[in-house]
């Protein structure tokens, strides 16, 4: 059975030595982020995920969820008890706002726990996974009455939230939705329609479930300008906060999926269910996007989480499994064969995984800081800059992070050879579970278009220009230090490819938007490569500082320097190839008629 | 439910217009390869796979195989009847030698049918899939008596063959095997041991199963120099050819796998089973390699087959599913949304798939010709050249072909968005089934080492030098033709990267073999990119010839030219990035101690 151990040391390194959260102690919530506190919280959260949640991953996959004849859903054995502990300990509320009972810690803590829970058990993670996003949307847009009624129990995870967008005929193109919301005299609406792919649509973990549902009012304009957002509780909530009757919403069936079998992904039927408008009519998409942006970052973290746990198990297997001899002569001549670990191609896959996961972790944590700064920085200018940076990074963290996270899971399965294909080892589950992250919350092609079509041009390109400068500055600082010079030189080159690709897209996407579309996915990958390269330079600098301080963990810091160098050697060269692909444009890509794709 | 239509037109184009098999009519078996005959055989074979075998794919995956209490195995509903038709029609014997009842046609036919059956149903394909390789090994190495006893029924697929190498503790490192073969007075051996991951180890499709088993005789040297190969029939065969008693070999259990659920991948227990030596004692590995080389090409074709069927279904979905609008304005304003097909990122994935599958198909068919020429060419020199070329290409077809085949299947699943993750659409099955091809018959890292460590240096590097020259010649011919010039220029550049990478590996692999190991996988990919690029130039030339002839299928030829250009734009740039990664060497890759990989 696969195992999981939370990467506490690496997280603490990021928080305390790379981000140095202590320096923001003047901001609300940051004063708690002392190194001791960080270690205590992260260590305890990691222990919980490793010991309580991870052991339910393989069994949850095999058992799956069950829909009972009355339409209610039961989760795999052990999920309910584990969730009760999770909720009791407040692991989901570390970074939620204090005004409704959250702990108000920096988002880095929330992101870390999200990584841990995704590594431990992604199907389990997707029960509470959308609740914090739902809280943000309700807090930003709903009336004080609705907030008072729903938020305290949602923040505490006594109730969980869901996100109901997709219908059988539409996903990305939400303008097409058919679910109807008819106003009732008491100010509520009667919601009727079918939603599909609803993660945690029904389950037995909490006494109530709060659905956020997109629907159209009777006279709403067609297109996405006519969408409204509603709160639809599974069980009606009385004015005194007690639970009332069942609402007219139920799970019609559980989808049969490639993976995350332990999560009940439901078809939800709304049969005149009672709902309450969040914000204004026809302004639902903007409210939902508050939830979606949080969810997208969360899904990017899933890519990291699956890569990390697959990596950990591959490392163990590569040490235990003996096969063949080192190319440079037997490493353990007293044994009949050397560990897999001696083979360069095994090491290539493990180092790729290590370089990605540690770099991606640093990127997510830096992103978490931007989320906080966008709300809490002392000046409007700093808040705006942070908001723009996280807006730019969100599609990259989601799209690049999950593409690469999946690749890593596939490679870690490969380390196991034939045994990787066998269910009992658990490696194939990581691949199946990681696969969904490339699809949901906006397929990665949609992320790429969000990046190229919307985020690049925001405020005259201010965010991407600031990003270029950050990279250039970091490279300039690092080039004089011989431990970092190689990576800095390679990253500077990759940043040059990124700038050139940006310029090409700006110029040629204007003339023909298909040129932007044709290069978007590759562009997202270049930006991912450079962003993680930037994180490796920062980690490298922190490692040099650590070594200079003479304190403790010399081997850890030295490994950071080697892994950063490896990242430069093996990840940055793709930037040039991707740029050349982008410059191929859309002509050949779009030239063929439909019939040319038919097989005869 | 997914569908499959055999790509008959493209196959006939390759055989008749690219390879022009007619020009080899003087060679045995090639006289039958007239265009009419090609079309008839390929068309009928394609129809059979599409109509009889493909409809059992999804149901076979869901039902799986069953081991009965007596240790025998039943296959999914319909497999037995479909196999009876397959056997009766002789679809497995097109390219097997005539002296034991095969049809003796060029290997191109055998490869084509292998592609079709893999697209239709990979789990089904793996029942007969190893038999032809077993036939080759027996024919090359076994005594005339054993050949006479087993080959006629194996060639006709009345009996099927298996390949028993792997044991629980060893796969790649066959020197470690523990299965014992003790000689008996009658000249047979008593075989005892456990083999795992045995594809089609037991089933109900044929009355007998012929296992080829690696084992060690009592005084055999340790290491792979002490391995012998045995024929072990499931049912003993009497001297008159009738079937006798059950042999002491049986299926202990069926493995639980990520995919190819319809194939019984078995743990096989040999309890003093009676076996007969194939060739000489301790020379078993060489005999098994005859089988393995055939199997490796077959697995490469699986990569193609899964990519093709996934592509076909994605093309259909991209036309039927409407979501969003073309970036250049609505393509079908009368509808509420445009087909997915209008979106560049969807088109990118489909064009990537088309460029890979059509190019890979051409490569496999060219490889098939090399197999034939290695046996049948008129001069010893030509036979040796063909043998060297297919030896060089085998790890590329297997390793690059299955890496990319899997990537394509993943991308085609992505075209379906959320629906791609749902079992009923069948796309996730293609991904799960395609995954195994990267692992079995030598994991792709092993293929890469075979290429770099063995094939490159064969006969002083003669094969790779000849390959360079082939590419340069084709580029030189094409550069003057404006329809091909862009691809030719890009391919020439990629060939330059390949040459440089080859030189780097030669020079630096000598000094430190880890440098060769560290670059092997990337090198295999560069060679794959260039080899398929060469095929695109050849297809382009054939398309120009077709257009010049003025006959028929103008749109088909024009699509070849566009797709070839797209291949140049989007595939060849990776060659440079891969070369740069290779030149990173092994230093950082191998620098870290084991402890640096432990998560704390």
Domains of chain A: 8-134 (1.10.540.10), 159-282 (2.40.110.20), 448-591 (no CATH)
CA B251 to each of CA A482, B80, B267, B268, B456: distance values in angstroms, whole numbers, following the listed order: 60, 19, 6, 5, 40
Nearest CA in chain A to B561: A588
Q: Which residues of chain B have pLDDT under 50?
A: none
| Structural tokens at position A387 | 């908001």
The pLDDT, as a whole number, for residue B600 is: 55
Residue B48 near residue B89 (C-beta atoms within 8 A): yes
Q: What is d(CA B550, CA A249) in angstroms, rounded to the nearest whole number?
A: 64
Tell me whether B591 touches chain A (CB under 8 Å).
Answer: yes
In degrees, rounded to 5, the angle at the alpha carbon of residue B30 between the alpha carbons of residues B29 and B34 is 125
Chain A residues in contact with B348 (beta carbon < 8 A): 518, 521, 589
Residue-wise pLDDT tens digits, A245-260: 999 999 999 999 999 9
For B470, counting Cβ atoms within 10 Å of its Cβ (0-12 exposed, 13-18 middle, 19+ buried), the class is: middle
Tell me whether B178 touches chain A (CB under 8 Å).
Answer: no
Looking at CA atoms only, how far is residue B517 from chain A in angstroms? Answer: 5
The pLDDT, as a whole number, for residue A1 is: 87
| Structural tokens at position B66 | 């069953």
Q: What is the mean predicted confidence (pLDDT) over A42-66?
A: 98
Chain A residues in contact with B517 (beta carbon < 8 A): 327, 343-345
The pLDDT, as a whole number, for residue B97 is: 87
Q: What is the mean predicted confidence (pLDDT) over A58-75?
A: 96
| Chain B residues 495-514 with a CB less than 8 Å from chain A | 512-514
| Structural tokens at position B266 | 């078995």
Looking at CA atoms only, how far is residue B267 from chain A in angstroms? Answer: 12
Tell me whether B552 touches chain A (CB under 8 Å).
Answer: no
Q: What is the mean predicted confidence (pLDDT) over A440-454?
A: 97
Query: Is B328 within 8 Å of A512 when comparing Cβ atoms?
Result: yes
Chain A residues in contact with B422 (beta carbon < 8 A): 255-258
Q: Verify whether residue B44 is a known catalytic residue.
A: no
Residue-wise pLDDT tens digits, A502-552: 999 999 998 999 999 999 999 999 999 999 999 999 999 999 999 999 877
Tell me whether B463 touches chain A (CB under 8 Å).
Answer: no
Tell me whether B10 touches chain A (CB under 8 Å).
Answer: yes
| Structural tokens at position B502 | 């080859």
Q: Helix A513-549 vs helix A573-582: angle between axes, to the nearest 10 degrees?
A: 170
| Structural tokens at position A472 | 């250039």
Q: Which residues of B1-18 are buried (b: 16+ CB within 10 A; e: fewer)?
A: ebebbbbbbbbbbbbbbb
Tell me what the pLDDT averaged over chain A comes to: 96
Given B428, B441, B483, B497, the catalytic residue: B441
Tell me whether B184 touches chain A (CB under 8 Å).
Answer: no
Looking at CA atoms only, how far is residue B185 from chain A in angstroms? Answer: 33
Tell me whether A440 touches chain B (CB under 8 Å).
Answer: yes
Tell me whether B449 touches chain A (CB under 8 Å).
Answer: yes
Looking at CA atoms only, how far is residue B32 from chain A in angstroms? Answer: 23
Is A155 a residue whose pLDDT tops 60?
yes
| Chain A residues 83-142 with a CB less than 8 Å from chain B | none
Q: CB pairs below 8 Å between A and B: how many?
A: 277
Which of B421, B440, B582 would best serve as a mutation to test chain A binding (most A beta carbons within 10 A)?
Answer: B421
The pLDDT, as a whole number, for residue B33 is: 86
Tell me whether A373 touches chain B (CB under 8 Å).
Answer: no
Query: Is B435 within 8 Å of A410 when comparing Cβ atoms?
Result: yes
Nearest CA in chain A to B486: A584
Query: Is A344 within 8 Å of B598 when comparing Cβ atoms?
Result: no
Query: Is B439 within 8 Å of A421 when comparing Cβ atoms?
Result: yes
Q: What is d(CA B262, CA B58) in angstroms, rounded to the nearest whole number?
A: 9
The pLDDT, as a whole number, for residue A32 is: 83
For A503, counting Cβ atoms within 10 Å of its Cβ (0-12 exposed, 13-18 middle, 19+ buried), the class is: exposed
Nearest CA in chain B to A223: B336
Looking at CA atoms only, how far is residue A328 from chain B in angstroms? Answer: 6
CA-based nearest residue to A309, from A115, A589, A128? A115
Instruction: Determine if the pTM surpasses 0.95.
Output: yes
Tell me whether A548 touches chain B (CB under 8 Å).
Answer: no
Query: Is B256 within 8 Å of A423 when comparing Cβ atoms?
Result: yes
Q: Which residues of B230-267 are buried (b: 16+ CB within 10 A; e: fewer)?
A: bbbbbbbbeeeeeeeeebbbbbeebbebbbbbbbbbbb
The pLDDT, as a whole number, for residue B338 is: 97
The pLDDT, as a whole number, for residue A600 is: 56
DSSP code of B252?
E
Q: What is d(CA A118, CA A91) in angstroms, rounded to the nearest whole number?
A: 13
Residue-wise pLDDT tens digits, A549-574: 987 799 999 999 999 999 999 999 99
For A192, counting Cβ atoms within 10 Å of its Cβ (0-12 exposed, 13-18 middle, 19+ buried), the class is: middle
Looking at CA atoms only, how far is residue B183 from chain A in angstroms? Answer: 26
Looking at CA atoms only, how far is residue B4 from chain A in angstroms? Answer: 9
Chain A residues in contact with B512 (beta carbon < 8 A): 328
The pLDDT, as a whole number, for residue A97 is: 87
Q: What is the mean predicted confidence (pLDDT) over A288-317?
A: 96
Residue A198 near residue A266 (C-beta atoms within 8 A): yes
Outline where A19-72 has alpha helix (H).
35-48, 57-63
Query: Is A593 within 8 Å of B5 when comparing Cβ atoms?
Result: no
Residue-wise pLDDT tens digits, A187-235: 999 999 999 999 999 999 999 999 999 999 999 998 889 999 999 999 9
Which of A8, A123, A418 would best serve as a mutation to test chain B binding (most B beta carbons within 10 A)?
Answer: A418
Given A114, A388, A441, A483, the catalytic residue: A441
| Structural tokens at position B449 | 């080492």
DSSP character string of A532-598: HHHHHHHHHHHHHHHHHHT-S-HHHHHHHHHHHHHHHHHTTHHHHHHHHHHTT-SHHHHHS-GGGG-
Nearest CA in chain B to A429: B258
Tell me whether A336 touches chain B (CB under 8 Å).
Answer: yes
Chain B residues in contact with A573 (beta carbon < 8 A): 576-578, 580-581
Residue B564 near residue B518 (C-beta atoms within 8 A): no
Tell me whether B336 touches chain A (CB under 8 Å).
Answer: yes
| Structural tokens at position B331 | 């393509």
Residue A362 near residue A15 (C-beta atoms within 8 A): no
Outline where B277-333 has alpha helix (H).
284-320
Looking at CA atoms only, how far is residue B276 from chain A in angstroms? Answer: 28
Residue B412 burial (CB count, 10 A): 30
CA-based nearest residue to A115, from A308, A301, A245? A301
Query: Is B197 within 8 Å of A418 when comparing Cβ atoms?
Result: yes
């Amino acid at each position: 059975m696969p195992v999981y151990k939370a990467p506490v040391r690496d997280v603490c390194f990021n928080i305390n030595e790379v981000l140095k959260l202590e320096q923001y102690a003047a901001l609300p919530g940051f004063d708690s982020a002392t190194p001791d506190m960080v270690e205590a919280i992260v260590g305890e959260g990691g222990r919980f995920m490793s010991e309580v949640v991870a052991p339910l991953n393989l069994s949850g996959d095999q058992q799956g969820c069950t829909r009972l004849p009355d339409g209610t859903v039961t989760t795999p054995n052990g999920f309910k008890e584990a969730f009760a502990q999770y909720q009791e300990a407040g692991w989901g509320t570390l970074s939620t706002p204090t005004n409704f009972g959250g702990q108000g810690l920096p988002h880095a803590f929330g992101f870390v726990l999200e990584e841990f829970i995704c590594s431990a058990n992604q199907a389990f993670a997707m029960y509470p996974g959308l609740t914090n996003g739902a809280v943000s949307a309700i807090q930003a847009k709903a009336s004080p009455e609705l907030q008072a009624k729903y938020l305290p129990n949602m923040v505490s995870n006594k109730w969980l939230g869901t996100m109901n967008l997709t219908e059988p005929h539409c996903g990305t193109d939400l303008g097409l939705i058919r679910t109807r919301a008819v106003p009732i005299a008491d100010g509520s609406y009667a919601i009727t329609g079918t939603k599909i792919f609803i993660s945690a649509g029904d389950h037995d973990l909490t006494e109530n479930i709060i659905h956020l549902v997109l629907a159209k009012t009777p006279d709403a304009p067609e297109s996405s300008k006519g969408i409204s957002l509603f709160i639809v509780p599974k069980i009606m909530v009385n004015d005194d906060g007690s639970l009332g009757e069942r609402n007219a919403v139920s799970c019609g069936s559980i989808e049969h999926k490639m993976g995350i079998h332990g999560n009940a992904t439901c078809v939800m039927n709304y049969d005149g269910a009672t709902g309450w408008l969040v914000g204004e009519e026809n302004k639902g998409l903007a409210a939902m996007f508050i939830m979606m942006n949080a969810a997208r970052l969360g899904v990017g973290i899933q890519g990291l989480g699956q890569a990390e746990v697959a990596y950990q198990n591959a490392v163990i297997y590569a040490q235990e499994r003996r096969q063949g001899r080192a190319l440079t002569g037997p490493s353990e001549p007293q044994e009949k064969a050397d560990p897999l670990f001696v083979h360069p191609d095994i090491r290539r896959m493990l180092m790729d995984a290590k370089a990605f996961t540690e770099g991606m972790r640093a990127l997510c944590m830096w992103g978490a800081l931007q989320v906080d700064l966008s709300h809490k920085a002392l000046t409007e200018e700093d808040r705006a800059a942070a908001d723009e940076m996280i807006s730019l990074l969100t599609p990259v963290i989601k799209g690049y992070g999950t593409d690469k996270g999946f690749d890593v899971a596939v490679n870690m399965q490969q380390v196991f050879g034939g045994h990787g294909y066998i269910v009992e080892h658990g490696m194939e589950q990581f691949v199946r579970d990681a696969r969904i992250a490339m699809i949901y919350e906006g397929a990665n092609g949609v992320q790429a278009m969000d990046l190229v079509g919307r985020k690049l041009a925001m405020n005259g390109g201010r965010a991407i220009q600031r990003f270029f400068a950050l990279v250039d500055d970091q490279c300039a600082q690092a080039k004089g230090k011989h431990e970092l010079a190689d990576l800095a030189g390679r990253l500077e080159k990759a940043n040059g490819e990124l700038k050139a690709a940006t310029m090409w897209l700006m110029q040629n996407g204007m003339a023909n938007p298909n040129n932007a579309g044709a290069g978007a996915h590759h562009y997202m990958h270049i930006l991912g490569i450079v962003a993680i390269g930037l994180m490796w330079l920062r980690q490298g600098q922190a490692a040099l500082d650590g070594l200079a301080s003479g304190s403790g963990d010399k081997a850890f810091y030295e490994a950071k320097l080697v892994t950063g160098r490896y990242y430069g050697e093996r990840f940055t060269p793709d930037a040039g190839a991707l740029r050349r692909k982008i410059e191929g444009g859309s002509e050949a890509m779009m030239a063929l008629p439909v019939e040319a794709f038919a097989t005869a």
